Structure formats: C-alpha cells, structure tokens
Chains A and B, each alone.
Chain A
Amino acid sequence: MTSTENDRKKNRYHFDRHTPEYRPQFAKITEEMLEKCPVAWTDTYDGHWVAAGSKEVFELARCPAVSNHHDLTGETPYKGITIPTAKRSSGVRGGMLEMDDPEHRTYRNVLNPYLSPAAVARWEPFIDETVRACLDEKIADGQIDFVDDLANIVPAVLTLAMLGIPLKKWAMYSEPTHASVYTPEDSPDIERVLAMHREMGIDLLTTMVEIRDHPRPGLMNALLQMTIDGGPAPDLEILGMLGLIIGGGFDTTTALTAHSLEWLSGHPDQRELLSTDRDGLLDPATEEFLRFFTPAPGDGRTFSKDVEIEGNRFKEGERLWISWAMANRDPAVFHDPNEVVLDRKGNRHFSFGIGVHRCIGSNVARTVFKSMLTAVLDRMPDYRCDPDGAAHYETIGVIQGMRKLPATFTPGTRVGAGLDETLGKLQRICDEQELARPITERKEAAVID
C-alpha cells in the first residue's frame, strides 16, 4: 500500500457485523467508532469503509457520488447494498434499492401511490381487524408468542393484500422470508429454508403470470403494467422489486414490534405511561423505538467517483457500509443516545435511511406497528415476556430481529372470529372493495362488515 493510501485509510477499525459477538458489543463498538473514527476503513469482506457518525452518514447517504447499483455481471465493483454479497442474491438485483436514479425513480413512482401516508391510512380498518383476529386466537389462553402469533402475521397479511396475492398464503411467504434472514449460509437448516424459499419464488412467478393474464389491483399489477425505456419492465427486475417489497415489508416491522414489546415488558412503569397517554406518547415513542432498535441497521454502497466528504477521501469503486444504527446513537444529535426516551424531541433518526432511497414502506411500518402495539396494550395490559424463551437473531448484520418472544398475561375473552375465518372475510372485502387500488383511483378507507 502506498503512503497516500495509508494516509487515506489512517482511521482503521476491525468491523465485522456478521459475527455473534457483534450484537452484545454493539453499544461499545458504536461508542468507540463515534469517538475515534466516525468513518473508518476495515479489512473485513475484501475491505470497505464504515460510516458511523451522524454527520458523515447524513452526507454520504445523500451524495451523488455514492451508488446503490448492483452489477450482476460482477465485472465492475458495483455490488449493491449487501456486504458481503450474498450467495443467494446473485441472479436478481434487489429491486430499486439496488438502482440509482433515474431508473430507481421510475420504479419508485410506480409504488408511491400505493404506499403514501394517505394510501396506507385506507388500510387501517383492515390492519386492526387482522390484529384483532391474531389476539383472539390467544386471548383465552393467557399465553402468546408475540413473534409467531402476531408480529410475523400482520405485516405478511397486509403486504400480500397490497401485492394482490391471496391472504391465505401468508405462511408460505412469511416463514422463508424470516428464516432466510436469520439462518446463516453454513447452517444445517439452510437446505430446508432454501427449499421453502424456492416454493415461495415459484408461487410468486405463478401469480405474476396469472395477474399478467388477468389483471387485478395491487402492487404486482402496477409493476407488470409500468413502462420503462418505452417497454414493460423486465421480469427479473419485477421479481427483484417483489423480493424487496416482501423482504422489506415482513421482517423489519416484526423486528421493531418484538423489540418494543420486550422493552415495555421490562419497563412496566413506562408501559403504563405510554398506555395512558397515547395521544401524547404513541407517535414519539414509535419514533424512539425505531431509533433505538433500528431494525434495518445499515446499507452497502459503492463510490462511483473519487470524492472528499467531511475530510475523508474516497476512491471510485470502493465499497461503503452506511450504519443507520450507529448514527442513531450519535450523542451529537441524540442526548443520552443509549437510553429509550419515549417523549424524545428532535428525533431525526436514521432508521428509514436518508436521501432518495428513504424506506418506501415507512408509512406501512408505523401504521402496522401502532395497531399491534395499541391492541396488545388494550387487551393484554399486564403481559410479561419470558426472558428465557425470548430468542434474538444470533447475528444482526442484516436485520436486528427476534425469532421468539413468548409472554403470559391475564386471560381475556374473544371478541370475534379466529384468524382463518377472518382472513377469508378480509379476502372477500379486499376483492369486493378493491382495496389494493392506488390512492389515485380509490380514496375511501376499507369498510369491515
């Protein structure tokens, strides 16, 4: 390495977020990096930059010389948002999250009218009814697993509804989507997970063909109908977009909900406070849980030009990890960054990303989270999570998630039908009221009969 190279990479930090040791050391690593090297070079995974500081993350995420593009030929250094490049992802780009403008914008414009705040608000009665059914399945038992019985189900059901996929298939989509995030590629369970993933992929393709022949409202139809460069979008790009919507729609909201419910169980006084002052606290508490738990902890990028930012000189082709999770703990922006402060002010957190790639599902995430949280506070107000049964993802390099969160509570009474019956009813309502139409075509909220 030349002396200029050494000079450029003088801030070094051994950073490996994929090891099991990373999770318990996250706060310590973050403090060290923020204090000593808010941008550092690490030799892990063929070498890449890591941005931890809030200022650096803010500038890099908005920098036009920082690219999301993923070149599947592997002939250029553009490797998209994953570090290291996942074996499974080769063959399909990760939808618009692995595109730059103007291509990214073309796809994003197609999705926007389905996912804007106004578009998502129409789904609230549908979401509340799904949540109600999930809780009714367990309310008389006095025990529930908040991951398996609630937080895995609701985001999956809603995402399928928005796509135009039958709701009853939620389990076929949910299990492989979560399992492929937390199952390492060398795990003995990986073959089973991959088989489930293939089954989901085949169903996705079959549904694509079906909707192409017989259009029905939803995100999948929108992607099939769109035009780019004067023609339809390539099937592989549509598949990448669908993978992004499913991956982004399922695991992240589950992760946020499970962590928040676990934290509230451990802080009953704060839970009481939140429950009694929902008008004042539900919004800021949701943002604070987003900041503190950062379900999607970061994204990879590639420099597309030589550029200098905040005194750091980067070279074209170098890879970069932008850590939303570490920026979210920067004391320069957040006082007492390692504390959960339910009524935090000025909470300009990084959890949905910064810049043109802001999480397009952010409105869905907040709405689904709030519905699940408030229903639990209403119907299981004294719930207690079992610390021995709680299972966090062993590695949090991709998603800071949970696999299990068992809890007990004082049993209550059912107020409606169970999940299967409810999903049958919601499917009929989806079809009759054409809920999956974009906001430009349908303004009214869902009506649950």
Chain B
Amino acid sequence: MASSLPPGVDVDTLNAAFERFRRIVGNDWVFTDEKLSSYRDPYTLTNDPTEYQPSGAVAPASVDEVQEIVKVANEFGVPLWPVSRGNNFAYGGSAPVMSGTVVLDMNRMNRILEVNEEFGYALVEPGVSYFDLYDYIQARGLKLWLDVPDPGFGSVMGNALDHGIGYTPYGDHFGMQCGMEVCLPSGELVRTGMGALEGNNTWQLFKYGYGPYVDGIFSQSNFGIVTKMGIWLMPEPAGYRPYMISFEREEDIEQVAEILRPLKVGMVIQNAATIRSLIIDAAVHETKSRYYSGTGPVPTSVYKDIMADQQIGMWNFCGALYGPPPVTDALWSVIREAFSRIPGAKFYFPEDRTREHDILLHRAETMKGIPKLTEFNFLNWNGGGGHVGFSPVSPITGKDAINQYNLVNNLVREYGFDYMGLMAVGWRDMHHVTVVVYDKNNPDEIRRMDEVFNILVDEAAKAGYGEYRTHIRYMDRIAQTYGWNNGSLWRMHETIKDALDPNGIIAPGKSGIWPSRYRG
C-alpha cells in the first residue's frame, strides 16, 4: 500500500511496480508506509504534509539491479528519485521534489573499486561516504588526502554531483571528478571520457576523452543515474600549516575580499578558504542561550561578548598552507603582510588558541581532509534543529561581499533569524553560503523562513546573484532566475531531458527540469 501516488499512476499500478522491485532487490529493500520516515526531508520547509512525500523507496545493491529497476519504472511509468546516501540535508535530504516519486536509495552500492596512490584518485560507487573512503585510505597507510565537505557522512559521489565544496586545494569537488559510469533512463549503461575506450588505462586520468564532454550534464540533473565516478585525491603534502585571521568589524568584509582576490587568483592562497561570520562560528561550540536569553536574533550589542568568549572576530578567515616549510613560510609572509593592512586583524595558528573546543582547531582538521560532523553543531543554536542553505555566487570583490552581507543580514534579522553565513572562496568566485537556522517544529518559524527565502532569491537575482545549489522546495524558483534569452538554457535542458527520458521517470523537477509528461 503506497503512502502517496505519483501523478497519473493509480494505486494498483504502483503496487505492481513495488512487487517487481521486490523481485529485483528482495523484500527487505523495498520500503513503504511507516518505513519511509528516513526518506522524508527532516528539515521541512513547508507546513503542508502532502508535499515532498515519496510513495516508497527501493535500495539496489548493484548496477545490474539499478538497470532492472529503471526498466520496471519505464514499464509502469513510476518516477524514481535517485539518491546516493541522501544526506544532503540543507537541500532536502532524500525527499523528492514531486510527491509520489519512489526514492532510489543507493546506500548499499558502497564499493570502493580502486584507490590509486601513484596517480592520486579513487573510483567509487554512490554509497561510499567520506568516512568510508577516509577509513580505507588510513587502514592501508596510503599517502593521500581527501577533500571533505562539512558533513562527513555524505557521499563522495553525491557531493561532487551536486557541486559541493570542500576546503583543501581540491575543494572544487566536481572539478576533481574524472570519469563516470551512468545508467541512462532507458537502462543502458554508458561510460564517459576515456571510459568509453575498451581496454583503456586512463579513465580516471583524463577527463575529456574524445568528442563532446558530457559529464557536466549528469550533475545537478535528471538525465541519468551515475553508478560509478572517479575522483582525484591530493597527495599528502610535505607540510601543513592551518591558520585563522580574525577581523573585528562588520564592514571589514569589504577590505578582506579586496585583499583576498589577488592572493587567491595568484594562488598565494592555496586552498578553498572561507570567511566565516561570527554567529556561525560561535554556534559550532555553544548555543545561543549561553549569550542571550531573549527571542529573535542576538542583539549586536552582544557580539563583543561572543567574540571575547570564543576568541573570534566578526569575520574569521580560515585558510591553510600546504607544502614544504620554506614554501609555506614564504606564502605566509605575503598573506600576513597583506591582511595586516586591516586595523585590528589578529593572526592565529592552532598553538595560539586557548579554548579546548575551538573553531580553528576544528577547521584545521577539515582543511586536511578529515571527515567530521562537527558543523552540525550550529543547528543547535536555537535548539530547534532546522536549517536551509541560501547560496548565491558573487565575484571576489569588496563591493559584492558587503552588498551580499547587507542584503542577507538585514532580511534574515528582520524575519527573526540570526545571520549565519560564510563566504567560500573558489578559483574566481565566492559562494556566499548562508545557513538559516529555524525551529523545525515551529510552524510560524517555518512560514517566516519560507517567506524570507523567497524574498532573498528575488532580491539576489535583481542584484545579479544566482544560487549555485538549492533545496528541493526552491528548485523551480531558482531555475526561473536563470532566464536569459527567454529561458533558453532551461528549454535546452528540457530538450535533452525529453530525448534521454521520454517517459520522464528520472527525478522529475530536479533543478527545475521537468519532463514533457509533467510540464504544464
């Protein structure tokens, strides 16, 4: 018996599909009704309980089983929502955009197929987590480092496919991807790049192969189900020196970004560094009740107390130096001199920190690729646990940094939330990752959160900022902001979607891409 039905599919048809799924994966690996709780969005952004509800979940253990499931889905017209580990929690977890969609849970496909120390890469299945890959490397004493996002229980593949970021020099995860195996919506398998050449030995070494480079169309998309992926790993460097520079005033972000740009573009700053704001850093190790007992956002008059208590600033630039000491010493002298121009800047290495539970000591592990779950602590700031990510992209300029900060800070505070943002520095851009933390059991907070998020999207778009990634609830809305030339890019996506997936069975609505079957 199904919990909710996909549009156009009756209950008998759905149950018949589930029966076929059971024949493929076994009774224990098809989930319906009360066993679906872990496939729902734990941080829901709606008070409507009928939204984003899967009708079931099926968990294959092999590529063959994925192919069989896809064929059955085509036969019965049952849509599938593929997830690798389903732990993308600021963006919806395992929950589908369209209620009634069946979650294709690839947690059990957790083989590490190869780790190559000489060339620095791994070939993994979707269910391999950062913890899994880290343990594998440590157990064998391989001289390789991972690049990890903040949630260590996430999927190596899933994070890269969703354009996730980390904090070492390999922080652009999709940029470090090399070679895929994809189950197309027809059930046919393809291998991309050099993987298409029989007997090749370069699938994880050269991205482009021959002909069009297609890997990108399988990221943040619904054009196929990636079943294997190569990811480059960083050789263990000859030295490692994490550091933090704190800045006292809100307006310092403008000068920080201006100083940062030439250092990053010129590769003096080696890693995917972050400029973290006061409250997000404070919330990693304490809760709001330690500093403020009122409702709503923390008054700015309390900021100095928090800074003093946690030995942090209004902005905290966390970076790291990688390489032999003569190299890192030289880089550090340039970085220190540049940021010393900002009055009140304070410079720290881990040995300078005095708190046992400290932001730099924590980030120092993350910036060397140790998977953790520490960042989840900030969800406890108000005690309510809910969070969503609003993540517009901007150039690395002082003007954009202060504009983005003012835009988001003013709006979230007006709606009763604290500003908890960070600016993650890419090769040429900044991802302004703002986490809005709310009480997931408070309908009024959910309503306010939803309202302010929609305003943020619109205001950011008016200023020329687009989000790089979003929660399932806002996928259509964000897609609409990418509307140049009357939405030609999304029309192209729809054309590809209809060609590859004529029955519209893979992830309807993912990234705002709908198959013809569900388009109005």
A and B assemble together = no
Residues of chain B touching chain A, judged by Cβ–Cβ distance below 8 Å, are none
